[in-house]
């Protein structure tokens, strides 16, 4: 027997409403970050293996569950293929594999992080773990990285810099 709370939690309409509210809140925070309102600098925390990354919210679009992929032949192993995300066709990159690690396992907490439209790049990163919003200005500098109050080290990751990398732009395998 399921409780009323469990039934509500699994109700598709309730889940969509909660997702919409979450996305609206995230959008408000992203707009505040872009406009510079408020003293806090929010970034999105990502996890790949034992490494934690901070992604500037102004460079990120949406965070969604992985969509079905259509493989593209003769591409790099880290280029997973094309996905339809809310009517937009996006190239999907396994960020863990691109950075030289093991591929991201299907299912589990993995998410697609789409690139912000301002970057002009129809792409999404498949990331194994999304930690949510982090306050970068509340962290202390540790060389090129940041350290939070819990002692976790965070490495900045710039999508704008990523789309300028020659290797990132060359998804095809040269024969």
Q: Is the pLDDT of residue 2 over 70?
A: no
CB distance 93 to 138 below 8 Å: no
Q: What is the pLDDT of residues 90-148, one digit of tens each?
A: 999 999 999 999 999 877 899 999 999 999 999 999 999 999 999 999 999 999 999 99
Helix ranges (DSSP H) in 36-109? 95-98
In whole numbers, what is the pLDDT of the chain averaged over residues? 86
The candidate with the shortest Cα–Cα distance to 29, out of 56, 66, 65, 47, is: 56
């Amino acid at each position: 027997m399921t409780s009323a709370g469990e039934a509500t939690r699994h109700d598709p309409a309730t889940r969509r409403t909660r997702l919409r509210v979450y996305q609206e809140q995230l959008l408000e925070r992203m707009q505040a970050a872009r406009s510079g309102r408020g003293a806090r600098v929010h970034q999105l925390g990502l996890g790949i293996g034992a490494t934690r990354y901070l992604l500037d919210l102004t460079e990120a679009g949406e965070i969604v569950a992985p969509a079905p992929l259509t493989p593209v032949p003769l591409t790099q192993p880290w280029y997973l293929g094309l996905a339809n995300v809310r009517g937009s066709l996006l190239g999907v990159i396994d960020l863990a594999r691109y950075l030289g690690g093991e591929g991201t396992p299907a299912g589990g907490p993995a998410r697609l992080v789409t690139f912000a439209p301002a970057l002009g790049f129809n792409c999404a990163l498949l990331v194994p773990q999304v930690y949510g919003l982090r306050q970068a200005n509340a962290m202390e500098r540790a060389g090129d990285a940041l350290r939070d109050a819990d002692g976790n080290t965070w490495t900045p990751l710039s999508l704008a810099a990523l789309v300028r990398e020659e290797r990132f732009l060359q998804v095809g395998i040269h024969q």
